[in-house]
Amino acid sequence: MKIIDCKILGLCALVLGFTLVSCQSKTEKKETTVIQKITTAKTGSFGDQGDGTYINPVLNADYPDSDVEQVGDTYYMITSKQHMSPGMPVLESKDMVNWTNVGHVFDSLSWAPEYNWDRMNGYSFGTWAGDLAYHEGTWYCYQIDYQHGLMVATAKYITGPWSKPIFMLPKSEVLDDPAVYWDEETHKAYVIVNTAGKQKSPDNKIEGNENRIYEMSWDGTKILDEGKLVYTGMGAEAAKIYKINGIWYIFLAQWTMGDRSTKPGVKNPKNDRKQIVLRSKESIYGPYEVKTVLEKGTAFNDRSASQGALMQAPDKSWWYMHQLIQNDTIPFQGRPQCLEPVNWVDGWPIIGVDEDNDGIGEPVKQYKKPIDGFPITAPSSDDDFSSPKLGFQWEWNHNPRISHWSLTERPGWLRLKASKVLPNEKGYGPNINEWTNNDGSDSDFWRACNTLSQRIMGTTTGTAVAKFDISGMQPHQLAGFVRYGGVFNLLGIEVDENGEKHIFYMDTFGEKTQGPQIVGPDFYVRTTNNGNQANYEYSVDGEYYSDFGPTFTIAFGKWTGDRLGFFSWNEKEDAGYIDVDWFTYDYDGPKAAKE
């Protein structure tokens, strides 16, 4: 049940459910890294401005399809991340503006073989938009894998451990975007699902997606009926259910199609996506009135705004978290999260500020924070790999090969062992479909397991640096640094059949440019982006860097924004490894102070 009436629940166990992991000293003597300890929090072109205001997007990175559940004085967010593993990131905030990572719902995408390292053909699928709920001492996360159906995972604590997913409806009946509600008055539980056209009757002449409400068991794990149709609309999805002052509200994202030449989600400036609300004073099944409550404005006039979650602050003010959509300008950083004030007008929640006085809200660029008194924080980025557990900022491209990575074989370092790249044939690597781009999709990179990465932050500038030890590399191995989203660009070391190590750059079509030979163990990579233009530099001493490779364009694709990370594969056999000493990332946005 969405905690929108700000009832305070006795949840001290939530606090006891996890502890913050502090950095341990390295277990072996190492040189001082470039990870700087900043004594004051950093601000930038987005997020908390340190003056009582924030600039949207507050979470300016690829955290799409959010849902937020409030428990006590804390807000918890989930977002989708498709084929990345672990899946369904979890973040928390005390003020709706500053968010930090606290875990993932799915330790691995364990329910289907295409997400495993030896297949890697689950691109764009996996975890999609979900619904996070807390009810009677249990956490619930619902989501629909497009290829496998509606599932739910449960946990005692938000930080886990989470159960294995329980499947509730088959893919033949549902498309995406579930949302749940427990009605304490009637002691009934419901889930609304976009069933698209999968159950559509010839009698329904309305064009678009059907959205159905099913009754489910009180424990939230079983469907009890065949569902009832409550709304049909073009591209209508991403529902959330709320009951406020006895009135039912269903929030939905819906496309306005001005041009039928492309499908929803494909770049087309004539098409738009808006947030609508259904309202019923009678029943969860309706009848419903419909009103548009959020549309494009001047703050983000090249991107649609919709799909998110309603929240309430301690002062009883209402707020809405939503994503920016990639329909016109396709963003290289992915789909970020914006925070909007909500004003109730004649019983309707108008999201943002009605800047053109048409009764529909538009997003704000800068606004007063909903809650004061909490420090500037941000998702984790820098890492010296001192912890025996991988930081929450990191995710694998598909489920990793567990035997081929380690944080303990060489304590204080991340070791990535090289597996033989998967074959370039049917059943391996990306499939070409409406959710993927086909540029370079047959390149080896997409079929090389154990690529580890994190999101970029913002769209202005950023610089990431990593130090590698390449002494464990073997013939035919390629390893180093990668930027990738819809396209990839690599800078690393390739070992030839005689054991010689050379720098190489690889573009998204797999074309390699070879550079000078490297004879020592140390190798540093630095990559900088200015907008969507990026480049690589390398160093052998961490002091003097040289450019290598062209300036290249980073891009969104496979439903993923640009990411920063590491790769290691072998063209001939399972042999060789690369060790990562540390990683730092400086960007134009908020960063928490470090002690």
* pLDDT tens per residue across span 535-581: 999 999 999 999 999 999 999 888 899 999 999 999 999 999 999 99
The model's confidence at residue 270, banded by pLDDT at 50, 70 and 90, is confident
Q: Vertex 247, ends 320 and 229: CA angle to 5°?
A: 90
The model's confidence at residue 259, banded by pLDDT at 50, 70 and 90, is confident
pLDDT at 8 over 50: no
The model's confidence at residue 437, banded by pLDDT at 50, 70 and 90, is low
395-587 architecture in CATH?
Sandwich (2.60)
89 vs 437, residue with greater confidence = 89
User: Would you state the structure tokens that stand for residue 112, as one six-digit string?
Assistant: 């289907």
Question: What percent of the chain stands above pLDDT 70?
Answer: 90
CATH number of 128-368: 2.115.10.20
The model's confidence at residue 5, banded by pLDDT at 50, 70 and 90, is very low
Residue among 124, 114, 145, 163 nearest 399 (CA):
114
The pair phi, psi for residue 184, each rounded to 5°, is -65, -25
pLDDT at 262 over 50: yes
Q: Locate the domains of the chain by residue range.
A: 128-368, 395-587
Average pLDDT over residues 416-424: 97
Supply the pLDDT for residue 303: 86
Supply the pLDDT for residue 345: 97
- Whole-number average pLDDT of the chain: 91
Question: What percent of the chain stands above pLDDT 90?
Answer: 83
- Sheet architecture: strand order including 100-106: 67-71, 74-78, 87-93, 100-106
* Spacing of C-alpha 495 from chain mean position: 34
Supply the pLDDT for residue 63: 97
Supply the pLDDT for residue 328: 61
pLDDT, one tens digit per residue, over 22-51 is 333 333 434 444 444 545 789 999 999 999
pLDDT, one tens digit per residue, over 204-225 is 999 999 999 999 999 999 999 9
Is the CB of residue 466 less than 8 Å from the CB of residue 580? yes
pLDDT at 524 over 60: yes
Evaluate whether 128-368 and 395-587 have a shared fold: no
Q: CB neighbours of 557 closer than 8 A, spacing ≥ 6?
A: 436, 437, 439, 485, 486, 487
The model's confidence at residue 327, banded by pLDDT at 50, 70 and 90, is low
How far CA 110 is from CA of 9, 128, 210, 249, 398, in Å, comes to 33, 15, 29, 35, 10
The model's confidence at residue 329, banded by pLDDT at 50, 70 and 90, is low
Q: Are strands 247-256 and 501-506 parallel, antiparallel or unpaired?
A: unpaired
